[in-house]
Structure 1
Amino acid sequence: MLAATVAMSHAGAQAPSTEPAAPAAAVRSTPAYPDPYVPPAMRKPMRDYSSGPTLLRYQAMQKLKKRFDEADQDGNGMLTRDEARKAGLGFVEKNFDHIDTGQKGSISFDDLKSYLIQRREEARSR
């Protein structure tokens, strides 16, 4: 009986598989904790960046970009003070002179983004 079981297990191991072999990278998985030597009581779950402040900032920027593009009536990628006012972008209209550092009379989305980042950094330093 033992011989039959061993023979069957060897026969099953030698039979070709109909499923494609998984690549070596797919077999390896990332560990739940990067350092296996950290005691379980001290382990913290890895941070999930699918939510939180980074995602919120990204979503806010995407909405602002959409509003910026909708306000750009002539499609040149720049907003004038008049276009900002007509689109109801009061913040942009109010701070237009600060955003338009080159005094060109129009601003790009990158100009607006730079201004917002500068304001955030100034607020943090207070």
Structure 2
Amino acid sequence: MKLLQFAILAAVGVAVISHARAQAPKSDSPSALRGAEPYLPPALRKPLRDAATGPALLRYQPMQKLKKRFEAADLDGNGTLSRDEARQAGLTVVDKNFDHIDTAQRGAVSFDDLKAFLIQRREEAHSR
């Protein structure tokens, strides 16, 4: 009797697996393979995001994009932006807050000045 039950369970298991494979996408792309097989080779696995570096990475990427926009807006290549350069480049954050960013009253802001301003604003927002 137990042998008969085992044979039935095995047949049902094979049928379920065959049906799942028949329904799986026929592509070799990693996204197609993710749904088809329960095991993925390491090359096809998505890397797990480390919780300790996750938020830092999320802040790093936009900062790098902002730095590229800042450098592209620096038309004279001196490493700083005037209010006009910021306005022409569409950097409205710099344009609207120019006097707060330019704490030394030089008439130009560096990327470090902008970062310090953004960090200060973020800390002020978190303290509320």
TM bracket, shorter-chain basis: 0.5 to 0.7
Per the alignment, residue 33 of structure 2 pairs with none
SS in 2 for 1:70: helix
Q: Pick closer, same or farther for the CA change 1:56–1:84 going to 2, 3 Å.
A: same
SS in 1 for 2:81: strand
Amino acid paired to 2:85: E
Candidates 87, 90, 112, aligned match of 2:89? 87
1:55 to partner: Cα distance = 0.6
Per the alignment, residue 106 of structure 2 pairs with 104
Unmatched runs of 5 consecutive residues or more in structure 2: 1-48
CA contact (8 A) 1:73 1:83 kept: yes
Per the alignment, residue 30 of structure 1 pairs with none
1:50 to partner: Cα distance = 8.2
SS in 2 for 1:114: helix
Number of residues of Structure 1 aligned to a counterpart in Structure 2: 81
CA distance in 1, matches of 2:70, 2:51: 27
Provide TM-score, normalisation by structure 1.
0.61
Structure 1 vs Structure 2 CA RMSD: 1.9
Unmatched runs of 5 consecutive residues or more in structure 1: 1-46
SS in 2 for 1:122: helix
1:49 to partner: Cα distance = 4.8
CA distance in 2, matches of 1:51, 1:118: 21
The answer to whether the aligner puts 1:67 opposite 2:69 as a matched pair is yes
Q: What does the per-residue CA deviation read over 1:104-124, in whole Å, with 9 as the maximum and x for residues that have no partner? A: 000000000000000000001
CA distance in 2, matches of 1:55, 1:49: 10
Amino acid paired to 1:102: A
